[in-house]
Amino acid sequence: MTHPLLELLHTRPRLAELAAYPFDFDVHRTEHCEDVRLASGASLEPIAGDDTGGTYFVCDGGPVLYASSEGDAGLIGADVREALDILIGLPACPASVTPQDGEERILAAVAEEEEELREWYGPTLDADRAELRAGLGLPERSPVELLARLHAAGARTEPDFVLLNAREGRAYRLMHDEPRPSVRDAVLAAVREDPARPRAAGGAGVEGSGGVDGPEGVDGPEGVDGPEGSELAWIRLAGQRGLRELARVRLIRMLDDTGPADGALIGALAEEFALLGDFWQAARAQRLYASLQDAPADRASAFCALARLERHAGDPDAARRALDRAVAALDGAPAPKELAGEALALGHPGVQPAPRP
């Protein structure tokens, strides 16, 4: 990426040295510990790293995202300039305070953390910080202001800048425990802002929703009751109201939190991802669902559905592997109609349809 401050760090070794230590922004460390991508599919470019294996990325539109090697990620600045402003001004950002704690407590916490940093780095911390700021053309700012900017950036991480493991599809945890609006509140806000948008299928609305479990006239997926069913109903409505990234991210978070006892929910999540057009995550959910099926016919049907999702996700090889598992589950029994249809679509050999009655 071309950015004036990054160019300065790449062309002036002294500035690069100071940025790397003690301010933990090393432009020569740009390889993350694993392949990652944004849930939205937007561009992501590594620009620096730190000494713990974490990586700084520039996202589409300019915001800077930090990803740790421990599975946490979040925006740390609206752009490269603000991110460096914060990293240099708060090299030992205290996790014990938030912008709501007030100036006195914030300054005390920052002073305590920086005193500990000086014990390791030496007495030239302030002079080196001033040199780096001057070299990059950054102003001196109060730690109170920088902490507020950091948390404001973090609050913008979800839904548009959620980081995923590119192989498994799981989401990184948010770095800051910022309060997030519920999907219900986001949908209601969207309705108030643009009531003319199409409603849910069948004309369902959200009027009178205060105190109810789900959108009026919108049921949760079959087999999923209680709070999870209600949440899925609101998520579906969010997607229909144009809040697709919010819907996608909440579905991903729900899937990440599932376990072997959540078979019905996992199957429903696969369907909801498919409705959003995210066939990669739909296949991930369906793969888990298929692995939980015990009866041969259920396993065959689940793997057949997985093959269809893998095909829509653009991975014909994975689709054929799913069909292989569907055939293996049948153990020689004739294939149901949907399995034979998928085999025909993929040119899969050896799948014989069940005889017509």
Which one, of 150, 94, 135, lies nearest residue 127 by Cα?
135
pLDDT category at 255 given cuts 50, 70, 90 is: very high
Q: What is the DSSP letter of 49?
A: E
| Mean pLDDT of the region 23-51 | 96
- Amino acid identity at 75: L
Q: Please report the pLDDT score of residue 196 as a whole number.
A: 66
Which one, of 65, 238, 85, 94, lies nearest residue 157 by Cα?
65
Report percent pLDDT > 90 for the chain: 71
Q: Please report the pLDDT score of residue 198 as a whole number.
A: 54
Which residue has better confidence, 126 or 353? 126
pLDDT category at 207 given cuts 50, 70, 90 is: very low
SS3 sequence, 215-282?
A: CCCCCCCCCCCHHHHHHHHHHHHHHHCCCHHHHHHHHHHHHHCCCCCCHHHHHHHHHHHHHHCCHHHH
Q: Please report the pLDDT score of residue 167 as a whole number.
A: 96
Q: Please report the pLDDT score of residue 134 as a whole number.
A: 98
| pLDDT, tens digit, 9 for 90 and up, residues 286-327 | 999 999 999 988 998 999 999 999 999 999 999 999 988 988
Does the pTM surpass 0.85? The reply is: yes
pLDDT category at 109 given cuts 50, 70, 90 is: very high
Q: Please report the pLDDT score of residue 192 as a whole number.
A: 87
d(CA 294, CA 260): 12
d(CA 9, CA 149): 23
CB neighbour list of residue 319: distance below 8 Å, 6 or more residues apart: 306, 307, 308, 310, 311, 342, 346
Query: Within 10 A of 340 (CB to CB), how many other CB atoms are there?
Result: 17
